[in-house]
Chains A and B, each alone.
Chain A
Amino acid sequence: MDNAEKNKTGIWERFRQAWRRNPLFSTGVALIVMIVVQTLALTMNSSFASFGDWFQNWLFNWISLLRNNSAIGIIALGMTFVIISGGIDLSVGSVYVAVGAFTMMLLDTGANGWLQHIGLTGAPAILIALILAMIFGGALGECNGLLISYGRMPPFIATLGAMQILRSVTQYFMKLESPTLPESYKGIARLSIGGQQLMPILYWGILAAAMYFISRQTTFGRYVFAIGSNERTTRLSGVNVRKVKRRVYALTGFLVAVAAIIQTSRIGSMDYASAGSGFEMDAIAAVIVGGTSMSGGRGSVVGTVFGTLIVAVMNNLLNLIGVDPYLSAAFKGAIIIGAVLLQRKDKA
């Protein structure tokens, strides 16, 4: 009896300790709670004939949830590195729209299509367009990186400038264009597996795994953490801090390009004025909810995936229980604030 009591408090105590010490643990618990509530809401929302019926409904709900959030999930992976390195990237939404427009102009099946113009069509054209789009995204990120590392600009300001410039220039160049994409390009995201469009989820999963590996096992990944925690010490340890910072932004640009490719392929078009706007805030929110410290040095890729899912599941939940869409941003805001309050470390 006495022993059982002790054991109980032991588990509770261990839970509390893990909650406090490991930000991944608390985010994970929060995610599980959200998922339970979401599943309950889904179950009560309508009546199901059988378990199979329920399961199919549940599964389809999840697939569409993951697919709809894959683009922001991929961008948030890059943002994680940026924030761990002690920076911020506000330009992701504009890079997204710029890369989207660039890719569509390359592949336009109309008279103005760049690749068509030089006689490239079909699969080779798509392959080249993909490579160029990723290089373009990386290069735009590299510009941010150069301004920040060699121009010694605060990341907030450099990327705020880039955000304005890129969207405005994209809109200017695209005002008379209305590119149409070749059908085969749309297969990149729409290719169906077992009757479901799973490709975007697959890309997100692969990139998340790759970024996790990079963050833990490579010199670059560990340098990102070191710089965010103590840039001076890192430089005095012989690390080329500027190069690492530059690469962080280039990597983010590359990931944004991947997100842009997936979305253009899924949707087939892009609204240059509004596409990707707010992505920077959504990505930052996912990273913060995932337990990464805004001041740099601490955080994780897994946390960001959890963070992206928490926000996504919450939106899904609001949808399921029929909350007015106008209020969804309020809930998102509350989640961000709540998450950070929970993650606060007890000070002395």
Chain B
Amino acid sequence: MTLKMRNIYKSFGANDVLKDIDFSVEGGEICALLGENGAGKSTLMNILGGVLPADSGTMELDGKEVQFSTPAKSLDAGIAFIHQELNLVNDLAVYENMFIGRELKRKGGFLDAPAMIEKCREVFKRMDVDIDPTAMVRDLDASYKQIVEIARALLMNASIIIMDEPTTSLTDPEIERVFDMMRTLEGQGVAMVFISHKLKEVLAVCTRYTVLRDGAMVASGPVEGVTVDELATHMVGHQVRTESLRQERELGEEVLRAERLSGDKFHDVSFSIRAGEVLGFTGLLGDGRSELFQAVFGSGGRYHGQLYLEGQPVQVKSTTQALSLGLGYVPRDRKENGIIKDMDILENGSIVTWPQQARLGVIDWGRVREDFQKQREGLKIKMDSEKDGIGSLSGGNQQKVVLAKWLNADPKALIFDNPTQGVDVGAKEDIYDTILALAKEGVAVVVLSSEAQEIIRLCDRAVVLYHGRVQGELMGEEMTDQEIMRLATGGEMRERVESIG
């Protein structure tokens, strides 16, 4: 089957998300769809999957023009969309999951389990994988779950399968297993669209690629002969580099040092940061940077390795201990980890320092208010009354309130995890100013971000992680979009050219 999408346009309000996109895929090929977050990949695939309508443009299946108003219609036409988060019921057997909602029944309405199991076996045989259809899904490892999802698509006679970052949660051998299966299907004439950030994987399994950037198609062609570097350049583009905020600062003593930290999602990570320094950590989804620093802050699981604070070995076991040691952590995912929705602005912006502002457990709200007002001015938080619920603020202002509670705690080292996630441009600059001001005051600042630009503009130094390991460390001018992307997608560190003379 051949799919052709032509001149696709889509906009949300004034925001053009897709501009004149041509995309095609045919049976027996695996086409990579590449692009940074927000480049328009998901929107394009949602149009194909019948989730969103296009503003204009045409879609053809085998030369016939089609339109999908619902996901079900797209599925009927043979297009299956496998989302990033798996859609399986853990407490049901494999065959029950494969037939969920479309169970085979005998006369009288009883389930025909033997027939369903037999059908599953046929599909697995065709895919050349060995899965017992009667096994419980919860007992399968992540790669087999991914394969069951793909098998379900085949069972529905899908001839075009869209996979959205299918390898994010898989380990290397598991990824290889999924790839083998994809190659088998490729040989059988199934068309696949592989959405991924991981360029090495793209080179390993795909035959063609299409790169989107800011809603426009910027490159496409056969994978053969293309390098990771070239793809990375296409993805990032040669945008005008926004002005760097890096500044000369007097660095103080070492504040935080980690030696060979290993946990579930990170391995053998060592780093050191001095007072007044801004150290970046970046990588792709699943690089383990959040888990690493949650462990440092005492809220992650167990880990091995040694942490030193101002030269003293410390074992951080709880967030309370971390706070008393002078560590701070502004978490990612504001809604889940940053704000307390039933509390007001003042409480959200001060909870960290309540113990300091309390005598015998009774909070001195007057002092709390004073401290918060100081931060409010510095951070330029726009609000009516501090008694209003935190939900009444915009995302950027909410994030500033989360920052405020940590600034009052006067930490020696402050970790920012995706500090500008879901924040508008103006607030972003305010937050950058705050971070740099902290560094100037001698706080050791760690910035975790998936945005290369953020790292480049803010940080003195950046550590790039890949699958939980340090893939490389970049200093000052070495930090470029391309270099970060190359390391983050698994490229090797270049040899530093020693200057002679």
Which residue numbers of A lie inside 8 Å of B, CB to CB? 217-220, 222-223, 225-226, 228-230, 232-240, 297-298
Which residue numbers of B lie inside 8 Å of A, CB to CB? 297, 299, 318-320, 322-324, 329, 331, 336-343, 347, 351-352, 354-355, 358, 361-363, 365, 405, 409
Among B299, B343, B358, point to the contact of A236 (Cβ < 8 A): B299
Known A226-B351, A234-B351, A238-B323; judge A219-B340 contact (CB<8 A).
no
B405 surroundings in chain A (CB, below 8 A) = 237
User: Is A219 within 8 A of B361, CB to CB?
Assistant: yes
User: Is B319 within 8 A of A222, CB to CB?
Assistant: no
- Inter-chain pairs besides A218-B362, A232-B337, A233-B339, 11 sampled, C-beta below 8 Å: A219-B358, A220-B361, A226-B343, A229-B340, A229-B342, A230-B336, A237-B319, A237-B405, A238-B322, A240-B318, A298-B342
User: Is B352 within 8 A of A238, CB to CB?
Assistant: yes
Main secondary structure of the interface of A (DSSP, over half): helix
Known A225-B342, A233-B338; judge A239-B319 contact (CB<8 A).
yes
Known A219-B354, A219-B355, A220-B361; judge A238-B341 contact (CB<8 A).
no
The answer for the CA separation of A160 and B352 in the assembled complex, in Å, is 34
A219 surroundings in chain B (CB, below 8 A) = 354-355, 358, 361, 363
Residue picked from A220, A225, A232, A238, most chain B C-beta under 10 Å = A238
Known A218-B361, A220-B361, A237-B351; judge A232-B342 contact (CB<8 A).
no
The answer for the CA separation of A228 and B343 in the assembled complex, in Å, is 11
Among A226, A229, A233, A297, point to the contact of B337 (Cβ < 8 A): A233
The answer for the CA separation of A32 and B333 in the assembled complex, in Å, is 44
- Name A228's closest neighbour in chain B (CB-CB): B342
- Name A220's closest neighbour in chain B (CB-CB): B361
Sort A-B residue pairs by CB-CB distance and give the 4 closest, nearest first. A238-B323, A229-B342, A297-B342, A240-B320
The answer for the CA separation of A312 and B231 in the assembled complex, in Å, is 73
In whole Å, how far is B26's beta carbon from the nearest beta carbon of chain A? 44
User: Is B342 within 8 A of A234, CB to CB?
Assistant: no
In whole Å, how far is B320's beta carbon from the nearest beta carbon of chain A? 4
In whole Å, how far is A214's beta carbon from the nearest beta carbon of chain B? 8
- Name A295's closest neighbour in chain B (CB-CB): B342
User: Is B343 within 8 A of A229, CB to CB?
Assistant: yes
A239 surroundings in chain B (CB, below 8 A) = 319-320, 351
- Name A240's closest neighbour in chain B (CB-CB): B320
The answer for the CA separation of A65 and B365 in the assembled complex, in Å, is 38
A218 surroundings in chain B (CB, below 8 A) = 358, 361-363
The answer for the CA separation of A239 and B340 in the assembled complex, in Å, is 13
Residue picked from B319, B322, B331, B405, most chain A C-beta under 10 Å = B319
B354 surroundings in chain A (CB, below 8 A) = 219, 222-223
Among A217, A220, A230, A238, point to the contact of B340 (Cβ < 8 A): A230
Among B323, B329, B341, B358, point to the contact of A229 (Cβ < 8 A): B341
B363 surroundings in chain A (CB, below 8 A) = 217-219, 222
User: Is A236 within 8 A of B362, CB to CB?
Assistant: no
User: Is B339 within 8 A of A235, CB to CB?
Assistant: no
Residue pairs across A and B with Cβ atoms less than 8 A apart, 28 shown, are A217-B362, A217-B363, A218-B358, A219-B355, A219-B361, A222-B343, A222-B351, A226-B343, A226-B347, A226-B351, A228-B342, A229-B343, A230-B342, A232-B337, A233-B331, A233-B336, A233-B340, A234-B340, A235-B299, A236-B297, A236-B337, A236-B338, A237-B351, A237-B405, A238-B320, A238-B322, A238-B352, A239-B351
The answer for the CA separation of A237 and B355 in the assembled complex, in Å, is 12
Known A219-B354, A236-B319, A238-B319; judge A226-B340 contact (CB<8 A).
yes
User: Is A232 within 8 A of B336, CB to CB?
Assistant: yes
The answer for the CA separation of A298 and B344 in the assembled complex, in Å, is 12
- Name A213's closest neighbour in chain B (CB-CB): B362
B409 surroundings in chain A (CB, below 8 A) = 238
The answer for the CA separation of A297 and B365 in the assembled complex, in Å, is 20
In whole Å, how far is A67's beta carbon from the nearest beta carbon of chain B? 31
